[in-house]
Chain A
């Protein structure tokens, strides 16, 4: 497999028919392959998230990452856009589903598509990855330490965010969950609670818990980065996507 790839900014048609800025990366070689939608973390459509997009292309997938703050601040710097999105109340769940669905449709329309699309998200995007997999036709989903898939947000949260317990029966894609045992959001108890729900609902899932790792252990530019957990996590993601998104 070649490691040649292209990366660029384009537009995909998201929620409500809106044209949404989307960062895409694709392997240079021909041949049928799966697609991956990357959901960026709350700090935005930033350089580190774009590096993740290119890594999945290097792994052999067509990849798309919609800018979830495009409507809040088109053309702004990623940190300014994230701040504007936050001041506007955050990303509504229905908008997230529409934007991920639009990116998935864009991937499936590519001549290289094998029809299979997975989704992965980090931090707030972990919850949104599960949300997308409960509402869209996806073949694999990865939740990297998403808070509030289960559990109740503290009283008085100014941003209305709900857990996904009532939506989990609709989960229609195999779910890979990667969690740090030192994380409190989600806590190890909440990870166990989520696993119990998936088990009792007969869902296909695979959970991995890492010692000496807390929240955001994949973040290479943050103090939370944990090399061992991140390296193993990447291998697990690679195997999971190969299993469910391969030709």
Chain B
């Protein structure tokens, strides 16, 4: 089904997107729903975007539920591995 559920979050960073150009990322959209490309019925999808640059300024990923959870754990582990004062 279409889950309709969407989590929006502000971000501050950069992503390498269309035409291999880097752009500033100010927004993230996270949702578990039908993918466009991945061969799964549902995936955890993340759009890294800069809405001020138009809908094409987007880096999209579609991850199976299991690999999305592994990514969350890896992000947490990477952050935890760094000295606390560096990750404030």
A and B held together in a complex: yes
Identify the B interface with A (CB < 8 A): 1-2, 4-8, 27, 29, 31, 33-34, 36, 39-41, 47, 49, 51, 54-56, 58, 60
Whole-angstrom CA separation of A157 from B39 in the bound complex? 25
Assess A42 versus B33: contact at CB under 8 Å? Given A73-B54, A158-B7: yes
Q: Across the A-B interface, give the 8 residue pairs with the lowest CB-CB distance, nearest first.
A: A185-B1, A73-B55, A76-B55, A84-B55, A80-B55, A147-B1, A124-B2, A42-B2
Please give the distance in Å from A238's CB to the nearest CB on chain B: 25
The A interface is mostly helix, strand or loop, or mixed, namely loop
Starting from the known contacts A41-B2, A43-B34, 20 additional A-B residue pairs (CB-CB under 8 Å) come to: A76-B55, A79-B36, A81-B55, A83-B55, A84-B55, A86-B6, A86-B47, A87-B47, A124-B2, A124-B4, A147-B2, A157-B5, A158-B8, A159-B5, A159-B6, A161-B4, A215-B41, A216-B34, A222-B34, A224-B41
Please give the distance in Å from A245's CB to the nearest CB on chain B: 27
> A83 contacts B2, CB within 8 Å?
no
A214 in the interface (beta carbon within 8 A): yes
A184 in the interface (beta carbon within 8 A): yes
Chain B residues, CB < 8 A from A83: 29, 47, 49, 55, 58, 60
A119 in the interface (beta carbon within 8 A): no
Chain B: CB-nearest residue to A161: B4
Please give the distance in Å from A88's CB to the nearest CB on chain B: 9
Choose one: A77, A123, A153; the contact of B56 (CB below 8 Å).
A77
Please give the distance in Å from B25's CB to the nearest CB on chain A: 13
The B interface is mostly helix, strand or loop, or mixed, namely loop
> B39 contacts A76, CB within 8 Å?
no
Which chain A residues numbered 70 to 107 have a C-beta less than 8 Å away from chain B?
72-73, 76-77, 79-84, 86-87, 89-90
Type the 1/0 row for A127-146, where 1 means its CB is closer than 8 Å to any CB of B. 00000000000000000010
> A215 contacts B1, CB within 8 Å?
yes
How many residues belonging to A are interface residues under a CB distance threshold of 8 Å? Answer: 38
> B55 contacts A216, CB within 8 Å?
no
> B1 contacts A184, CB within 8 Å?
yes
Please give the distance in Å from A60's CB to the nearest CB on chain B: 30
A17 in the interface (beta carbon within 8 A): no
Whole-angstrom CA separation of A123 from B51 in the bound complex? 27
A183 in the interface (beta carbon within 8 A): yes
Whole-angstrom CA separation of A83 from B31 in the bound complex? 10
Please give the distance in Å from B79's CB to the nearest CB on chain A: 25
Choose one: A86, A147, A184, A224; the contact of B29 (CB below 8 Å).
A86
Chain B residues, CB < 8 A from A89: 6
> B39 contacts A223, CB within 8 Å?
yes
Assess A158 versus B5: contact at CB under 8 Å? Given A72-B55, A76-B56, A81-B55: yes
